[in-house]
Amino acid sequence: MSDNEDVLHFDHIVIGSGLAGLTTALHLARSGRSVAVVTKREIDECNSRLAQGGVACVMDALDTFDEHVQDTLTAGAGLCNEAAVRAIVEAGPDAVNEIVSLGAKFTTRGDLGYKDERDGYDLGREGGHHKRRILHAGDITGAELEKVMVDAVTALPNVRIFEYHIAIDLVMSSRPTESSKGRCSGAYVLDIRRGRVVTMLAPTTVIACGGVGKVYLYTSNPDVACGSGVAMAYRAGANISNMEFIQFHPTILHHPQIRSFLISEALRGEGAVLKVRTSRDAEPEEFMHKYHPMKSLAPRDVVARAIDSEMKRTGEECVYLDIRHLSEERLRLRFPHIFAKCLEAGINMAHDLIPVVPAAHFSCGGITTDINGCSSIIGLYAVGESACTGLHGANRLASNSLLEAMVVPRFLAKEIDRTFGELSRNRPGEHTGMHWSNGNATDSDEQVVISHNWDEIRRFMWDYVGIYRTNKRLERAENRIQLIRKEIDKYYRDFIVTADLIELRNIATVAELIIKCSLLRHESRGLHFNADYPSPDPAMACVDTVISRKLGR
């Protein structure tokens, strides 16, 4: 590390501290090299911690890799990279066994009181899966895995954690040209508490910043999910793929005081059915049979659009999940966290219907990478939801995201170990061109500009670029984002950066990427539904939407 407190040197920088980021840090640190982990809040504040369902993985003799691959390809609607899918699926059991060896505890059948000939893990089933293959830790799987990884990484002497540090932009030691995407040598990072910018330099930089949910008005994601990794990579010139495919989770608890609480798809895996009221006094009726042969266990894109359609048809503010066929004892054992949260809302799942609505949940697109996390820029890698590896295609199969977050970092670490000698020979120095400068920027007295633009972006993205899209809606959104981007760019040049300004700039960039990709895809496929092109175009199967920043912009 440098003696200059404004320039810090490491062997590896990992931006993000969710499951993918911490798994990356753990495997890179095993080489003995120095690793910096940058996270904008506490180390465990991330999407991974909120994951309820579990990890999709073949762990049963009644299941096969081929079946898991096929379910993934079917959900992905013709846009998955089959080789990537197979590699990730087949590496799943080893990744699961490793995290168990670190202390993770998945629920067993014995934990739930089952006494039969089957033992071992209690494997759940979720939408799009034809077999039970979801490993879970009650209904707080993400929290269990995140805790294990936080403990493992923080115990390593060669890993330094930077909490309350937010990355601003990537350091490019060579800029993109017509023949090269350039080289990344680190990141400019704002120390939020001290209000100063630090330049962090390293031969490798891994983006693991998570999702983009806060681009939308209604989301299951935490406040940190602003798509910062994708935005930074785009500004640096990296290829970005398939940002039109935003997964809306079908079942977020609909309650005025409890916001953004996800009701796991695992409830439907245990037999919960979706129902809607056709009139104020009528008993809610099932409706998913009208939309898909798997009914309430259909893939998420089908379920979300069906719910949206039923709400518009009936004028109701929500639909309902009915899991009253299970006893209170069984529900408390299987879904303790969800049961408690519903009770907090005055809902006893064993006796009451659960009101739910869709909300933005997961981005299937991101920074274009191979299965080793390598991006189009030398020295820049991406893992987790920030990356587009080809696993998810046009629609993520339930619980494949935690699988990807556990597997791809293992591939990445092996690839970096293989190439680190070459990468480190061109280790960045402290030359003046890499130092951060505020220029003539001053402190802002117009904070309302940030909050107003933030609110406007999230509202028009929900209205125009949500579950149901049309060309006219997308064009309206494009016009608005272009004007707002100009305002934000001027504000960014004129005033000293703050965490709020950095996040606003990022959600504006990500919103523009989602809109651009949506306008380029003249069909409906998976999560992208455009009423002007209501059917898939066979010529677009296996064709990714890839965009990058034009040189000189």
- Residues labelled as active-site residues: 300
Please check whether residue 491 is in contact with residue 501, taking contact to mean a CB–CB distance below 8 angstroms. Answer: yes
Q: In what order do the strands lie in the sheet with 204-207?
A: 159-162, 35-38, 12-15, 204-207, 380-382
CB atoms < 10 A from the CB of 191, how many? Answer: 15
Query: Can you tell me the distance from the alpha carbon of 190 to that of 548, in angstroms, rounded to the nearest whole number?
Result: 25
Instruction: For residues 152 and 30, give the distance between their C-alpha atoms in angstroms, rounded to a whole number.
Output: 11
Query: CA-CA distance, 190 to 330, in Å (whole number)?
Result: 48
The identity of residue 289, as a single letter, is H
Angle at 459 between CA 475 and CA 364, to 5 degrees: 75
Return phi, psi of residue 417, to 5°.
-55, -40
Report the alpha-carbon distance of residue 143 to residue 264 in Å, rounded.
Answer: 14
Contact assessment for residue 551 and residue 177, using Cβ atoms and an 8 Å cutoff: yes
- Tokens (6 digits) for 111: 């934990």
Rounded to an integer, what distance in angstroms lies between the CA atom of residue 5 and that of residue 62? 57
CA dist., res. 412 & res. 309, Å (int): 41
b/e per residue, 299-329, with b = 16+ CB within 10 A? bbbbbbbbbbbbbeeeebebbbbbbbebeee
CA dist., res. 323 & res. 356, Å (int): 13
Cβ(355)–Cβ(254) below 8 Å: yes
What is the H or E stretch that residue 134 is in?
strand 134-135
In 3D space, the residue among 134, 129, 64 whose CA is nearest the CA of residue 106 turns out to be 134
